[in-house]
Amino acid sequence: MPQLRLALNQIDSRVGDLAGNTETILRWTRHSAEQGAHLVAFPEMALTGYPVEDLALRSSFVEASRAALRELAARLAEEGFGELPVVVGYLDRSESAQPKFGQPPGAPRNAGAVLHRGEVVLTYAKHHLPNYGVFDEFRYFMPGDTMPVVRVHGIDVALAICEDLWQDGGRVPAARSAEAGLLLSINASPYERDKDDTRLELVRKRAQEAGCTTAYLAMMGGQDELVFDGDSIVVDKDGEVVARAPQFSEGCVVLDLDLPAASVDAPTARDGVANGQRVDDGLRIDRVVLSEDPLPAYQPELTGAYADRLDDAEEVYSALVVGLRAYVAKNGFSSVLIGMSGGIDSALVAAIACDAVGAQNVYGVSMPSKYSSEHSKGDAAEMARRTGLNFRTVPIEPMFDAYMGSLGLTGLAEENLQSRLRGTMLMAISNQEGHIVLAPGNKSELAVGYSTLYGDSVGAYGPIKDVYKTWIFRLAQWRNKAAAERGQTPPIPENSITKPPSAELRPGQVDTDSLPDYPVLDGILELYVDRDQGADAIVAAGYDRELVVKTLRMVDTAEYKRRQYPPGTKISAKGFGKDRRLPITNGWRESV
């Protein structure tokens, strides 16, 4: 069998940074070449970053992407990599599409290209366009209609992009029809909890359907609310794993593959007709031959490796760290500011921040009021001592008394005033010192509106925005356990984990004064928010009807608050934001 050394580079790209992404691709191509690679690949839209959203509708950006691709091809040749085929994702446009009502202006395409000898020798566009969850690709792109195949050292390599594997039909069966020896899919598949298992089973299934070894190359890093976890996978034609890359780690997987030789009878017509038939889904074969002859036989040195899988808590925590780190760095900041109450939410956010940007770049502020307990003030200070983050205390009582003297507020207005004074103080420090503020709200609180607009909701980013309260406890316990296992000081004070959660805005207040116990609340919310179940279905799952109706009403009436909450790392299948789009003005209520 012919041999091929494949290099899969799961890299982190920044949206819009064409120059920076080009340098990253050049650097990792150099690394791949040093490892003796014969074919090098980079993720979906690696050159532009992903997702580009409405940038795809700007002709200036589309043309800049196309120009950057040509420049990249030339640079690769200039640096001595011209003979090394490189597959890279970028933003393109259709040359033939005519303007038409209902299609994206300018006919942009989510595309891939093969670069060789200083030229762009083959281009192709994603065939299946996702239009669910966070994806709006029908809004942005024109679908591809070819089955791209590149022959490298006597091996036919079929090419696909992300959703081409997630949906049935299209390029997977077409790869079999084209008699490919390798199916290479470049991807920017966002992280979700438990998605790694789903992804593995998908790749196994598609390899069996394509009848060839299948390589699934994934992006790594973060972009706004999305996190990309890497976890690139290579399986053989029977679905057996050949190699699997680490999660949440930028790097290169290089492995030697024995692959079938290209058939002399393989469909070759560029019009896509093979033996009188078009390949599956009407795709036209677009085949380019770069090197017909197989490589001289060599002793395989890189047979692949299987990186250890992270357990559930470590996986989620790693996603939160990567998401925050990417948001801070890619937006040009270096330090973060957190209001530290001594509670578990702000403690977990502080721990994540220390791991993401370094404790020396984390600034915590304790802002006690007359209702703040001594243990809470002590827990905040203890957290700072354990982690080494920068810490100060600024009481809000003088400001609070001034407002109360002028307004005479009572009840909820008095409680919310304390939160808003803290928000104002955080933003003032942010303006003065240049740190970005992190909002500490969790998914349970955001779901039912248990937060104060312009108070605890202020900030540039919400690291735990998509994490239910029950998971907050689980992550805090995991982080402390992981530190202890490494011989380090657990960062989160045990009292912050074990004491009853409280906003401490009135004497003796605890969260359960207003909310059900969190395990019960989160169970209802997961059914309603994440799975779109109605009241009757949730009651049938074993929850009290009165409690269900009350909870669902809180969720429905808090939509206006969630719209004003900052972005935050998405770790579930349905986070607040693009995943879940409901009207603010909404007369529909679940049955009572």
Rounded-to-integer distance, Cα 304 and Cα 244, Å: 8
Element housing 341 (H / E): none
Q: What pLDDT is recorded for position 166?
A: 93
User: Which pLDDT does position 503 carry in this prediction?
Assistant: 61
Whole-angstrom distance, CA of residue 188 vs CA of residue 314: 22
Residue 542 has pLDDT above 90, yes or no: yes
- Taking the alpha carbons at both ends of the chain, their separation in whole angstroms is 67
| Enclosing H/E stretch for 298 | none
Return the C-alpha torsion angle 309, 312, 316, 317, nearest 10.
-90
C-alpha closest to that of 177 among 272, 45, 103, 255: 272
* 533 and 577 Cβ atoms separated by less than 8 Å: no
CA-based nearest residue to 248, from 323, 195, 335, 185: 323
For the cut 70, the answer to whether the pLDDT of residue 280 exceeds it is no
Average pLDDT over residues 209-222: 96
Taking a C-beta distance cutoff of 8 angstroms, is the pair 233, 244 a contact? yes
pLDDT in tens, 412-458: 888 889 899 999 999 999 999 999 999 999 999 999 998 888 998 99
pLDDT at 37 exceeding the cut of 90: yes
Residue 271 has pLDDT above 60, yes or no: no
**Range from 6-20, 25-39, 277-291, 412-426 carrying the lowest mean pLDDT:** 277-291
| Mean pLDDT along residues 391-399 | 92
DSSP 570: -
Distance, CA of 417 to CA of 403 (rounded, Å)? 8
**Burial (Cβ within 10 Å: 0-12, 13-18, ≥19) of residue 584:** exposed
Is the predicted pLDDT of residue 308 greater than 80, yes or no? yes
Q: Is the pLDDT of residue 579 over 90?
A: no
What is the spatial distance between Cα 226 and Cα 320, in angstroms, rounded to a whole number?
A: 10
At 510, the amino acid letter reads V
Question: How many other β-carbons are positioned within 10 Å of the β-carbon of residue 585?
Answer: 6
CA-to-CA dists, residue 246 to 6, 255, 459, angstroms: 17, 15, 32
> What is the Cα 439 distance to its own chain's centre?
19
Catalytic residue selected from 23, 34, 44, 469: 44
Out of 53, 83, 119, 126, which one is annotated catalytic? 126
Tokens 């240049």 locate to 434
Instruction: Yes or no: say if 365 and 350 are a contact pair by the CB < 8 Å rule.
Output: no
CB 509 within 8 A of CB 495: no
pLDDT at 515: 80
The yes-or-no answer on residue 162 being catalytic is yes
Q: What are 470-527's pLDDT values in tens digits?
A: 999 999 999 999 999 999 999 999 989 988 776 655 666 676 767 889 999 999 999 9
- Domains annotated for the chain, with CATH where assigned, are 3-289 (3.60.110.10), 312-509 (3.40.50.620)
138-171 pLDDT per residue, tens: 899 999 999 999 999 999 999 999 999 999 989 9
Please state the φ and ψ torsions of residue 217, each to the nearest 5 degrees: -95, 125
Average pLDDT over residues 457-475: 96
Is-contact 156 132, C-beta < 8 A?
no
Per the structure block, which two tokens stand in for 509?
């207040």
Residue 278 has pLDDT above 60, yes or no: no
Is 126 assigned a catalytic role?
yes
Q: Which of 575, 579, 574, 577 is nearest to 564 (CA)?
A: 577
Of the candidates 83, 137, 162, 330, the residue annotated as catalytic is 162
Tokens read off for 567: 């972005």
**Residues facing 338 on adjacent strands:** 364
Per-residue confidence (pLDDT) for residue 132, from 0 to 100? 83
Contacts of 268 (CB under 8 A, 6+ apart): 285, 287
**Does the pLDDT value for residue 547 go beyond 50?**
yes
Residue 471, pLDDT score: 96
Strands lying side by side in the sheet with 3-10:
119-125, 108-116, 86-93, 39-41, 3-10, 251-258
Q: Which of 515, 509, 510, 526 is nearest to 471 (CA)?
A: 526
- Measured CA to CA in angstroms, residue 128 lies from 162, 168, 170 at distances of 9, 9, 8
Q: Ramachandran region of residue 340, left (φ > 0), alpha (ψ -120 to 50) or beta?
A: beta
Q: Which of 51, 201, 71, 74 is nearest to 134 (CA)?
A: 51
Token digits for 17?
């940074």
pLDDT of 101 strictly over 60: yes
